[in-house]
Structure 1
């Protein structure tokens, strides 16, 4: 029986080649697109889930609540670690401190100064106790390798990069920042890329303790750094809510409100939320919004639904041509269940062919998807989860696409069917088909609007006025040690001799960055304010190099220590000062440091990304924090200028790697995920429109066949091509307009929610919606018009003989 079902199914597919091709193409593209989106979403959701104690691991984080502000920090004061272990002895704690941009030097026989590597992914001073909380596999050694000072552990990939292979790395020495000699005492297996703890270079925590205040604040409860993270492993019986209550009492005991003018408290952040919570920094390379993943999941669902809609529409439309076959089968004794099984088997054959083709498409496209999404490691198509998803998707598509056509065909009246009096209008489902077409174009228009909004927002960001000059500023980073700082002025003078260099500034931070360095502060000898101020440290040429505008006063003078200060407009607004000149000469103090006179007021510039409001800002000079060299370049002959700068760097700092970046490129990294989402919208909106057009083309093709005689009569009676085109397109135009009115509120809500991620954003004007409806109608007319014009131009004599 089943053999007969599938043989008949194959004959039916061959007999209706065009419609079968449309169905298979639409389903295969829909399944492939949904599968690729599933792989991306599943990858993002898998972060750190390989940890055996995933559900019991937490990070201890900090909230600062001011009267006018609430800030969050992923770290805790260094002093809190010992107190946590004392106050909560039943919990296992482990700490690590991360630093970025450091340099390691690996001795080399062929290189007198050794091979230098900049650790952009971070170096971690780590306690052995971390390995009681997290599980990692070791090739050589174990957690004990990090007990003693001046020991370093590398992962297999990093050890191979530094020493040729990991076996040769054991026992060798490395130098951190030209100051700390470290011995390789262990090798970790490569850490999976889907982790927010990319532990590739680990230094024993005891090493950190040896270098005192330069790296540590062991007794300071008032300094909280996002680079100092404490993780906790709860026992199976412990409840996070109970621990949070205990941490609230812990916070009340240890934090002095008078010192910070805020209510500070610690609480637990589950490991499973670290990758998705934008309030806190992650030790990995990016944070992904769950809203983004939900959006991608919905797009995948919509596309597969659209492909199923095409199948249902074409199958029910074609059912007219199969009415006599159904009638004969019923007369010969076939019951409804047998006919139902027959139609479902045809659906299964088409879906199976589509799944095989979809797998091929996904396999070809998959290597490119990782460049669109924030995925660093190669993605694998043939995994148990993916295959399970593929099987489930195939079964669901068979049911979605096959149930209704099978129900319609199996219900035909055999007498009416044998007389071949079944016509399209009499087949149940005409109104359903219209509803499904409306659903298709609703989804298409939602995606068109979403794409237009996302692209416009990203164009707005790329062209937004940051309040500073971001073009042509080369940024060099160093670790700020005394050797580099002692040569800074001579280095600066040499740079200014290069024809392509306009100005040079030493500073702690670019104007717009992901810097979260802030402090409590006081103004004009008043008590501490109810909000924090963001801090940057820079020399006198910072204003000129980055094009910062002063609206009052002058730039702070050059000084090795903090002696004068500049503030921005936002700080004055929050202080209630309307006239910038009124602030000149007043004094400001950060933390419990000395009072500094305000000598300049800066016009507001974007201190962070455009997702955030401009923060109250204070800039002062302090040479010990000026780790960056910013060089303003003339736009012509950039490669030649860069080469000259590199030679001067090598002349002054031969022991330090040359690691330049451009300010505008660093800013672009803020919005990498939004750019990727915008690109995904473009791709999948295009696929949705293509699938819609496939279905529309199939339905119009069927209509053309059904109306062959009508078209012939109309032409004989003098109907023009335009009137015949109207005959075919009128109904679909009405359906598209209906779908537009459904799509508008959905798209508005979705994109309004997305735009809320940005403080500075475009407005949702009516043009986005006009473009969507105009584009949809034009696309539909082109699709319908091609087939309709062909039918209209056919010989009417042949049409009248076509009964």
Structure 2
């Protein structure tokens, strides 16, 4: 671009500064939003991608054929991994992982660690976490070796050298001494694998039962394949492995599946999986919407630039009469577009770097870095400038350079009229996308409101959950409960393996007295006699557990409605007294003493599953649920003080039940926030597009407006006539936007077992909001046009 073209382009932009400012603002807003979405999407799409040879790392899953539907476990039995390495040639490395929580003692200082991960010594051969201190090939070989994260080493040792230091932990009721053999960098945020300490798997091997049926509690097993072995070939070898190694009684129901490490983040249908999860459909939807936002901003520029072409046509004609070539005019118009696009993208880049941290905080997302290198960012910005300049500038430039001189000089608008239909089509596309966003914003907002307001079947308010999984605490749980109950503001306390909401262990159940009832797999929770009272569930038949009845300990079950249905016990009164058999680590035959109304123990994405409660004298207690009344802050302060006074092995680490439930919909909430922002932005861009189109139309119809005024048309009648020009655009946009929006929403709502119905109301609301937006946007333009003096308009005709 030479200096003359640059000056001419700036002069033209200054001359029509209001329309160009509208286009510029739309492009800046669309580009900023595009960058923010790409940053958000990039975080999810790069999950676990930082490991070298990530494409060759797989997680092993266990599949169980269990009617009425199969079960998928992210865990495997302890014995599976080593057998695979010995038997399957398509595996070059294998590592098992199992996380636990236990107190760690260094000197006289006690630390309550909840993320000690026991791994095989091959961990650092498979994963690319950066080792800061220690020998990568040997630091996990010792049975008592432990590697600390950089953050944890700083907390334990400060500036001292931690290598060789000794730490004490308790495993299986016995004290173990660990030697620090390495310091590892903290796991990055885009890692599904998280840990604070890495210890040798051999230390916990005695805690696991042999055999392939012991999936729960199991462990994560990761495999690394040679370059020549594909995932299909690996899964084929796993089928042969089942036939050779799995016991015959399990071969018909058990199989294994290897899934790429980078895909595990997006798999939401596996039980006992890692907590960090993403939704691939949401990610791709956001990417599509980001591209559509840019496209709409480009269309907006095209419409406004073409509208300005009517005013600039005579200027272009004079240039051509004076000898300017078509190529020169094309370059001149493209130069204007390039300057505007370059300025918009540059401004958007600056705003993006300013806005990214506040936006992260607003959305409740923590980021310590970006997931794109500076080279990638520069390449993205340059590509956007080139592509947007071409898309936005080529069509208006071609339109202006192909007009016949005689048509321009005689004020004939035939050429513009031929292209008016295309501009209407582009504007209709813009409007349909706006309706699409309005519709999905309405429905997603109401679905999330429905989720938050739906009664889960228990009282989630004022319940605080405290972790008490440390082995040293297990014998002290009754005493802890009795002490904390004395605090004013504590209404009730329950100790259980799992809280009322979340993952549960599982067991098979049968009804020995009824051979027609097939055995089925049910969720199981080991609780105490205060569980149902603390969570305030609804008992619909029989009775609750009682601490006064010794037979309730280990020899009685309480079931939910779904479990009773599976057992063929309906009405529920008939279930009470029925003997059922639980087949798990311990086989127990005991009567059902009560039936509880179904409640949502997991998110509304999933249907309510069978659930059985039992008081087990040998089961581990992980959670204390404390129901408070009155001033929760004051009660929490008293609880924490009493906890410290008891000098327990774990710190008072608590969280609220309602917050845990809200976190289950974090992905949907973030998507809703993005879409609301994009909807507002698109409405602004669409409004500016409507403004540009009406500007073009009024320029075309000035003579017609003047004639209508002369023959007696009122201001309202002229405005109504101009509004009618948009009728087809609005009707087509509402139809297309509604149909596409309803299709998308049906797919999205299918991910919820419990959801709102779509109906006609969202379509009507979206259509009305869109129409009102259009009329408000163009009202002042149409009124100004209707007030034109016919003499000024027709004096040159």
TM-score, normalized by the shorter chain, greater than 0.5: yes
Offset of residue 424 of structure 1 = 7.7
Q: What is the rounded CA distance, in whole Å, between the counterparts of 2:784 and 2:250 in structure 1?
A: 82
Give the corresponding residue for 1:633: 628
Q: Residue 595 of structure 1: SS of its match in structure 2? A: strand
Q: Deviations over 1:203-246 (max 9, x none)?
A: 1212223xx23xx23x1321214751111111111232222122
Offset of residue 334 of structure 1 = 3.2
Q: What is the rounded CA distance, in whole Å, between the counterparts of 2:504 and 2:390 in structure 1?
A: 52
Give the direction of change, closer, same or farther, for the CA distance of 1:772–1:512 in structure 2 (3 Å limit).
same
Give 1:112-511 correspondences, 5 Å limit: 114=109, 116-119=111-114, 122-141=115-134, 142-165=136-159, 168-176=161-169, 179-209=175-205, 212-213=206-207, 216-217=208-209, 219-225=210-216, 228-256=219-247, 258=249, 263-280=253-270, 285-371=275-361, 372=363, 374-379=365-370, 383-417=374-408, 419-423=409-413, 426-481=416-471, 483-511=472-500
Greater shift after overlay, 570-579 or 287-296? 570-579
8 Å CA contact 1:157–1:190 kept in 2: the answer is: yes
Give the direction of change, closer, same or farther, for the CA distance of 1:253–1:733 in structure 2 (3 Å limit).
same
Q: Residue 255 of structure 2: SS of its match in structure 1? A: strand
Offset of residue 447 of structure 1 = 0.7
Greater shift after overlay, 315-324 or 750-759? 315-324
Give the direction of change, closer, same or farther, for the CA distance of 1:258–1:5 in structure 2 (3 Å limit).
same
TM-score (normalizing by structure 1): 0.92
Give the corresponding residue for 1:649: 643
Give the direction of change, closer, same or farther, for the CA distance of 1:727–1:115 in structure 2 (3 Å limit).
farther
Offset of residue 673 of structure 1 = 0.8
Q: What is the rounded CA distance, in whole Å, between the counterparts of 1:802 and 1:520 in structure 2?
A: 91
Give the corresponding residue for 2:530: 541
Offset of residue 707 of structure 1 = 4.8
Q: Residue 194 of structure 2: SS of its match in structure 1? A: coil
Among candidates 684, 693, 711, match of residue 690 of structure 1: 684
8 Å CA contact 1:446–1:744 kept in 2: the answer is: yes
8 Å CA contact 2:77–2:218 kept in 1: the answer is: no
Q: Residue 532 of structure 1: SS of its match in structure 2? A: strand
Q: What is the rounded CA distance, in whole Å, between the counterparts of 1:204 and 1:520 in structure 2?
A: 33
8 Å CA contact 2:598–2:608 kept in 1: the answer is: yes
Give the corresponding residue for 1:520: 508
Q: What is the rounded CA distance, in whole Å, between the counterparts of 1:297 and 1:756 in structure 2?
A: 21
Q: What is the rounded CA distance, in whole Å, between the counterparts of 1:789 and 1:103 in structure 2?
A: 76
Q: What is the rounded CA distance, in whole Å, between the counterparts of 1:137 and 1:734 in structure 2?
A: 61
Among candidates 720, 726, 731, match of residue 720 of structure 2: 726
Q: What is the rounded CA distance, in whole Å, between the counterparts of 1:384 and 1:282 in structure 2?
A: 39
Tell me whether 1:4 sits opposite 2:8 in the alignment.
no
Give the corresponding residue for 2:747: 753
Offset of residue 509 of structure 1 = 1.4
Greater shift after overlay, 342-351 or 195-204? 195-204
Greater shift after overlay, 344-353 or 183-192? 183-192
Tell me whether 1:83 sits opposite 2:72 in the alignment.
no
8 Å CA contact 1:733–1:777 kept in 2: the answer is: no
8 Å CA contact 2:507–2:524 kept in 1: the answer is: yes
Q: What is the rounded CA distance, in whole Å, between the counterparts of 2:522 and 2:792 in structure 1?
A: 83
Offset of residue 794 of structure 1 = 6.2
Q: Deviations over 1:670-703 (max 9, x none)?
A: 1111111111111111111111112222333444
Offset of residue 24 of structure 1 = 0.9
Among candidates 567, 574, 588, match of residue 582 of structure 1: 574
Give the direction of change, closer, same or farther, for the CA distance of 1:453–1:176 in structure 2 (3 Å limit).
farther
Give the corresponding residue for 1:96: 96
Tell me whether 1:770 sits opposite 2:757 in the alignment.
no
Q: What is the rounded CA distance, in whole Å, between the counterparts of 1:234 and 1:769 in structure 2?
A: 51
Offset of residue 305 of structure 1 = 0.8
Q: What is the rounded CA distance, in whole Å, between the counterparts of 1:706 and 1:70 in structure 2?
A: 66
Offset of residue 420 of structure 1 = 4.9
Q: What is the rounded CA distance, in whole Å, between the counterparts of 2:148 and 2:598 in structure 1?
A: 44
8 Å CA contact 1:92–1:133 kept in 2: the answer is: no
8 Å CA contact 2:75–2:216 kept in 1: the answer is: yes
Offset of residue 159 of structure 1 = 2.1
Greater shift after overlay, 713-722 or 648-657? 713-722
Give the corresponding residue for 1:52: 52
Give the corresponding residue for 2:554: 562
Structure 1: tracts of 5 or more residues without a match: none
Q: Residue 55 of structure 1: SS of its match in structure 2? A: helix
Give the direction of change, closer, same or farther, for the CA distance of 1:19–1:33 in structure 2 (3 Å limit).
same
Greater shift after overlay, 244-253 or 556-565? 556-565
Alignment length (residue pairs): 785
Q: What is the rounded CA distance, in whole Å, between the counterparts of 1:575 and 1:257 in structure 2?
A: 27
Q: Residue 657 of structure 1: SS of its match in structure 2? A: coil
Give the corresponding residue for 1:737: 731
Q: What is the rounded CA distance, in whole Å, between the counterparts of 2:482 and 2:241 in structure 1?
A: 53
Structure 2: tracts of 5 or more residues without a match: none
Give the direction of change, closer, same or farther, for the CA distance of 1:503–1:255 in structure 2 (3 Å limit).
same
Give the corresponding residue for 2:541: 552
Q: Deviations over 1:417-462 (max 9, x none)?
A: 2x15143874431001110111001101111111111111110110
8 Å CA contact 1:24–1:354 kept in 2: the answer is: yes
